[in-house]
Amino acid sequence: MNRILVVIITFLSISIYAQNDEQTLKNIYKQSLTNGQSYAWLDYLSNTIGGRLSGSQNAALAVKYTKNELEKLGLDKVWLQPVMVPKWVRGTKEMAYFETELGIKKVNICALGGSVATPNGGTKAKVLEVATFEDLAGLGEAKVKGKIVFINRALQADLINTFEAYGGCSSERYSGASVAAKYGAVGTIVRSLSSKQDDYPHTGSMGYGDLPVSQRIPSAAISTNDAVALSEALKDNPNLEFYFEQSCQQFDDVLSHNVIGEITGSEFPNEYMIVGGHLDSWDLGDGSHDDGAGVVQSIEVLRLLKESGIKPKRSIRVVLFMNEENGLRGGRKYAEVAAEKGENHIFALESDSGGFTPRGFSFDCSEVNLAQIEQWRSLFKPYLIHFFEKGYSGADIGPLKNDNIVLAGLRPDSQRYFDHHHAANDTFDAVNKRELELGAATMTSLVYLFDKYGVNQVKNIPQIKD
């Protein structure tokens, strides 16, 4: 850090928080924990509506429901922002097995989102197990051609942050089929990106890049238990055959919406602060953690501000983004419209890491603003919020990035997230009410502080490269 910046940060550090901020945070947490609405909203979204894949009827129902709930809150404005989204449909439940000397072993798979179907009658072939793209390249077309490529790459268990472990394997899921197809594979089976050994296959998006339609091969995820079983069976018999069948289909884009509500600022109505999560989810579970939790927490932020008698100086918006999972169309559309209108967005907070006990936030912002946040650390201590680090903030708010905005991501405890992520067990019963409510209160507290003190503009201040 250079000396000029140290001086500036020290100067900024004088603007510490006021005594009554402690009381305000206490009120926010109390309101969320004793009279919160987030859990009831999630109950409806998960148990009455269910999984909300982009373009589905459930996604449309979720738009209607959340718009209606926002209207009940008495905000200054509530509206729908149109956005065209991809529509991919899973079709009939997938089926798969492999053959051993003992007979047929059925396994649990699911098509990856965006995959093509298997041909009529399914796909049956010998299996080539690899862990990485390097393995695949090393084997080359001669060994890959005509085979099903089985990418068996487990999440690295000794990484404390499970998102880091997930990130280490996600390109294999996303691009496995397009890479394997180039070597002549007839399908890919990818080990589920799960932290747990169980029978749930975990879906997620994949893409074919520039691969011509005629060369696209079907791609599915296999449960971690079955990945282990298949790998063991391949050691006994490298020539065993694997069969899978899936009937998923990509349709034309359809019209959907981001759902937006606003409390208009009393002093600086043209400074926008947003808080959001994504309304769409995968189709296997009910999307409670990913990202029903973020949706209801974001709505709760505006409710908690109102209930706590806070009248924001700046315009605070809740944005429920459509199509984070397989397109990010909602996030891109929101930023595009904001740019067209010349709206000055100074802050964006995303909750899309599950409804678990909040630990803090990651911040994608300047060092100057990070120093500002550091001043508030002790305000959060009674709530065991301790994590304030530079880092990735979230997919949906990413398109808003510029030199002045503060992008923030809620960071809940990550240990259980990938047990449920994109799988049939991402369900309401896996969300703890208090953990969800603590997250909403933590988000509200940060929004309150940034609204009250504003965001330090860093124009003309030397930037730090990190």
Residues that bind its own copies (CB under 8 A): 29-30, 33-34, 157-158, 160, 162, 195-196, 357, 359, 382-384, 386-387, 413, 415-416, 419, 432-435, 438
The verdict on whether omega for the bond into residue 283 sits within 30 degrees of 0, i.e. cis, is no
Q: How far is the CB of 356 from its own copies (least distance, A)?
A: 9
DSSP 90-119: --SPPEEEEEETTEEEE--EEEPBTPPPPP
Q: How far is the CB of 303 from its own copies (least distance, A)?
A: 17
Q: Distance between CA 324 and CA 287 in Å, rounded?
A: 12
- Residue 324 catalytic? yes
Q: Distance between CA 275 and CA 252 in Å, rounded?
A: 30
Give the closest residue to 94 by CA, choosing from 286, 281, 247.
Answer: 247
Q: Distance between CA 76 and CA 99 in Å, rounded?
A: 62
Considering the complex, state which of residue 311 and residue 386 has its C-beta at the smaller distance from its own copies: 386
User: DSSP code of 186?
Assistant: S
DSSP-derived 3-state class of residue 181:
helix
Sign of CA dihedral 110, 116, 122, 123: negative
Considering the complex, state which of residue 118 and residue 195 has its C-beta at the smaller distance from its own copies: 195
DSSP 239-295: T-EEEEE---EEEEEEEEEEEEEEEPPSSEEEEEEEEEEES---SSS--IIIIIHHH
Q: Distance between CA 99 and CA 241 in Å, rounded?
A: 6
Q: How far is the CB of 212 from its own copies (least distance, A)?
A: 42
Considering the complex, state which of residue 140 and residue 382 has its C-beta at the smaller distance from its own copies: 382
Q: How far is the CB of 374 from its own copies (least distance, A)?
A: 15
Give the closest residue to 79 by CA, choosing from 314, 319, 312.
Answer: 319
Considering the complex, state which of residue 27 and residue 249 has its C-beta at the smaller distance from its own copies: 27
Interior CA angle at 46 toward 76 and 109, to 5°? 135
Q: How far is the CB of 45 from its own copies (least distance, A)?
A: 19
Long-range pairs for 237-240 at CB < 8 Å and ≥24 separation? 237/100, 237/101, 239/126, 240/98, 240/99, 240/100, 240/126, 240/127
Give the closest residue to 454 by CA, choosing from 349, 373, 350.
Answer: 373
Q: How far is the CB of 10 from its own copies (least distance, A)?
A: 23
Considering the complex, state which of residue 158 and residue 252 has its C-beta at the smaller distance from its own copies: 158
The residue from 300, 324, 367, 437 that is catalytic is 324
Considering the complex, state which of residue 9 and residue 438 has its C-beta at the smaller distance from its own copies: 438
Known catalytic residues?
324
